[in-house]
Amino acid sequence: MAPGFRFASEMLIPSIDLRGGKVVQLVQGERLALEDTDVFKWVERFERFPAVQLIDLDAAIGTGNNDTLVSRICAARACRVGGGIRSIDRARAVLASGATHVIVGSALFRDGAPDVDFARALADTVGADRVIAAVDTKGGRLVVHGWRTALPLTPFEAVRMLEPYCAEFLYTLVDGEGMMHGIDLEAVRALRAATNRRIVAAGGITTHAEIDALDALGADAVVGMAIYTGRLALEPPPPA
Q: Is residue 69 part of a domain?
A: yes
Residues taking part in catalysis:
17, 136
Give 203's DSSP letter: S
Domain encompassing residue 26:
5-228
Chain segment 220-230, per-residue pLDDT in tens: 999 999 999 99
Q: Is residue 144 part of a domain?
A: yes
Q: Is residue 20 part of a domain?
A: yes
Chain segment 175-233, per-residue pLDDT in tens: 887 778 899 999 999 999 999 999 999 999 999 999 999 999 999 999 999 999 999 98
Residue 18 sits in a domain whose CATH number is 3.20.20.70
CB contact burial 132-164 (16+ within 10 A = b; e otherwise): bbbbbbbeeebbbebbeebbebbbbbbbeebbe
Whether the predicted pLDDT of 1 surpasses 60:
no
The pLDDT of residue 8: 47
**Mean pLDDT of the region 73-80:** 96
Chain segment 10-54, per-residue pLDDT in tens: 589 999 999 999 999 988 777 899 999 999 999 999 998 999 999
**Mean pLDDT of the region 98-126:** 97
